[in-house]
Structure 1
Amino acid sequence: MSNQKEKSSHKAVRLAIVRIEKGRPNIVSDQRKMSVAAVAEEAGVSRALIHRDCPDLLERIKGGVNKGIRQQRDAKQTELNEYKERNRELRSEVAELKAMLAKVQSQNATLIRKNIALSGVSSKSCNVTQFSYSK
C-alpha cells in the first residue's frame, strides 16, 4: 500500500512540475518561479517528501530554476554585445569627425591669413600691390 502511495505522490509532483512549467498551475500563482516549495504546494505534498522520495524530479526542478536565470543571463550578454558594437561604431565615428574638424580648422586658418593679407593690401593706396602669402 505504501508503494502505491509513493507512486501517486511521485505522479502528483511530476504533474505539478509540468503545470508550473507550462504556466498553468492550479494552486500557486502563475507568476511564481519554479522552486521546491512551489512544486510541493502545487502537488499538495511536503518539501521533505520531494527531497526524500523524488530525487529525479528534484533535479528537474533545479534545472527549471536555473533555466530562467540562464535565459536572463544570455539575454543580458546579447544586449551587452550589441552595446559594445554600437560603442565601437560611435568611437570610430568620433575619430572620423575629429579628423574632419582638424582639416576644416586648418583651411579656416589659411583663409583667415589670406583675408588679413588682402585687407592690408587694399588699405594702401598705391598702384603696385604685392601679395606675400604661401599655400
Structure 2
Amino acid sequence: MSNQKEKTTHKAVRLAIIRIEKARPNIVSDKRKMSVAAVAEEAGVSRALIHRDCPDLLERIKGGVNKGVRQQRDAKHTELNEYKERNRELRSEVAELKAMLAKVQSQNATLIRKNMALSCGSAKNSNITQIVYSK
C-alpha cells in the first residue's frame, strides 16, 4: 500500500513539474517560476515530501530554476567573446594602416623635398637641364 501511494505522489510531482515547465499549470499561476514550493502546490503535496521522497525530481526542479539565467549568461558571454575577437581584428588593422600611413607620409615628404629642389634650381638658372631617373 505504501509503495503504491509513493508511486502516485511521485507521478503527481513529476506531472506538476512538466506542467510548470510547459507554462500550463492547473493550480499555480503560469507566471510563477519553477520552485519546490510551486511544484508542491501544483501537485497537492508538501515541500517536505518532495525533499524526502523525490530526490531525483528535486534535482530536476533545481536544474530548471536557473536555466533561463544560465542561458542568458552564456549568450552574453558568447557575444562578449565575439566582440573581443572583432576588437582584436580591428586593432591589428588600425596598427597596419598606421604603418602604411607613416610609409606614405615619408615618401610624400621626400617627393616634396625633391620637387622644391628642382623647382628652385630651375627658377634660378635657365641653363639647367633636368635629368629624370626612372626606378
TM range (shorter): 0.7 to 0.9
- Give me the whole-angstrom Cα distance separating, in 2, the residues matched to 1:39 and 1:105: 72
Question: How far did 1:65 drift?
Answer: 2.5
**1:1-135 residue pairs with structure 2 within 5 A?**
5-124=5-124, 126-129=125-128
1:122–1:36 CA distance, 2 compared to 1 (3 A): same
Deviation at 1:54, TM superposition (A): 1.9
Separation of aligned partners in 1, 2:43 and 2:27: 9
Tell me the alpha carbon deviations over residues 62-118 of structure 1, each in whole angstroms, 9 at most, x when there is no partner: 222354344334323322332222122212211221121111111221122123223
Tell me the secondary structure at the aligned position of residue 128 of structure 1: coil
Shift of 1:5: 4.6
Could you say what the CA RMSD is over the residues aligned between the two structures, in angstroms? 2.8
How has the CA–CA distance of structure 1 residues 117 and 72 changed in structure 2, closer, same or farther, with 3 Å as cutoff? same
Q: Distance in 2 between matches of 1:55 and 1:76?
A: 32
- The TM-score with structure 2 as length reference comes to 0.74
Q: Residues of 1 paired with 2:123 and 2:27: CA distance? A: 96
- Indicate how the Cα distance of structure 1 residues 113 and 31 shifts in structure 2: closer, same or farther if over 3 A, else same: farther
Identity level (%): 87
TM value normalised by structure 1 = 0.74
Alpha-carbon separation, structure 2, partners of 1:15 and 1:120: 96
Extract unaligned runs of 5+ from structure 1.
none
